[in-house]
Amino acid sequence: MDDKFYGDISSELAKEAYAPISSTHTKSKKRNLKLGINSSEIFLSDPKMLGFVAAKHKFVGKMVEGFESVLEVGCMDGFGSIIVADFVKSLTAIDFYKEHIEQAKINVEPHRDNISFVGGDFLEYKFKKKFDGCFALDVLEHIDPKQEKIFLSKVVESLKSSGVFIVGMPSIESQAYASKENVKTHINCQTASQLSNTLKSYFENVFSFGMNDEVLHTGYSKMCHYIIKICTSPK
């Protein structure tokens, strides 16, 4: 036992209690999950952001828990996909950036048998089935406003009549504190009320939430860094 630990002070009881925790998942010892380039860069440059990403995907997972089939639009390198996949029967994840999908297929897909990564432009991609749920986090703000109707129409087209859509984006108010790079790429940020009004043209019900860091709430929308909408009953 002692050859597995540093030092001589800690008791044998403590070591015996700790060792099983580190070796519980024997399978995991043979696996080494590699982060994609995008997630790796976030982890190294601003690691707390991965906590925000994880929190948003956990919320989505809890909202669609038990769903038979879920579609993720804009999955990037699959960091958040693996979180949601643990809540649902099957997850199909699409992204139009080839490098992201290539990394997700190599780094994530082999570790979960219920995730399928698809390379394609969602605005034109034809799915062979309709989904119980769909979500798009940090995607809509990058969609050309002239193509927003195409995007949301495709979401509705991809869902069953009882389908649920969850969308999240940085609020327009948050852009005063965003980096120049983010402001340049965030071409479609909106206020919470603007986004709700837009979504009501496509769904019967729109429920509003806000986030600041990892905290989800229903507070004053203009003080929310991030806005999330849950939409039900596509029109």
Per-residue model confidence (pLDDT) at position 223: 96
Per-residue model confidence (pLDDT) at position 51: 94
Residue 22 resides in a domain = no
**Which domain CATH number covers 77?**
3.40.50.150
Instruction: Give the confidence band of 1 by pLDDT, cuts at 50, 70, 90.
Output: low
Per-residue pLDDT reduced to its tens digit, 89-113: 999 999 999 999 999 999 999 999 9
Torsion sign over Cα 169, 79, 51, 175: negative
Per-residue model confidence (pLDDT) at position 181: 86
Residue 79 resides in a domain = yes
Per-residue model confidence (pLDDT) at position 124: 97
Per-residue pLDDT reduced to its tens digit, 25-70: 545 556 677 899 889 999 999 999 999 999 999 999 999 999 999 9
Across the range 196-225, mean pLDDT stands at: 97
Per-residue model confidence (pLDDT) at position 59: 98
Residue 28 resides in a domain = no
Residue 21 resides in a domain = no
Residue 7 resides in a domain = no
Q: First-to-last CA distance in the chain?
A: 63
Per-residue pLDDT reduced to its tens digit, 132-174: 999 999 999 999 999 999 999 999 999 999 999 999 999 999 9
Per-residue model confidence (pLDDT) at position 3: 73
Per-residue model confidence (pLDDT) at position 30: 62
Residue 85 resides in a domain = yes
Task: Report DSSP letters for the chain, one per residue.
Answer: -GGGSS-S-S-HHHHHHHHHHHTS-TGGGG--PPPPHHHHHHHHH-THHHHHHHHHHHHHHHHTTT-SEEEEE--TTSTTHHHHHTTSSEEEEEES-HHHHHHHHHHTGGG-TTEEEEES-TTT---SS-EEEEEEES-GGGS-GGGHHHHHHHHHHHEEEEEEEEEEEEBGGGGGGS-HHHHHH--S-B-HHHHHHHHTTTEEEEEEEEEETTEEE---GGG-SEEEEEEEEE-
Per-residue model confidence (pLDDT) at position 31: 67
Domain count, the chain: 1
State which residues form the domain around 225: 43-234
pLDDT above 70 coverage of the chain, percent: 94
Q: 228 pLDDT exceeds 70?
A: yes
Whole-model pTM over 0.85: yes
Distance of CA 17 to the CA centre of its chain: 35
Residue 53 resides in a domain = yes
Residue 75: φ, ψ to 5° = -85, -10
Per-residue pLDDT reduced to its tens digit, 4-36: 778 888 888 887 777 665 554 545 556 677 899
Residue 140 resides in a domain = yes
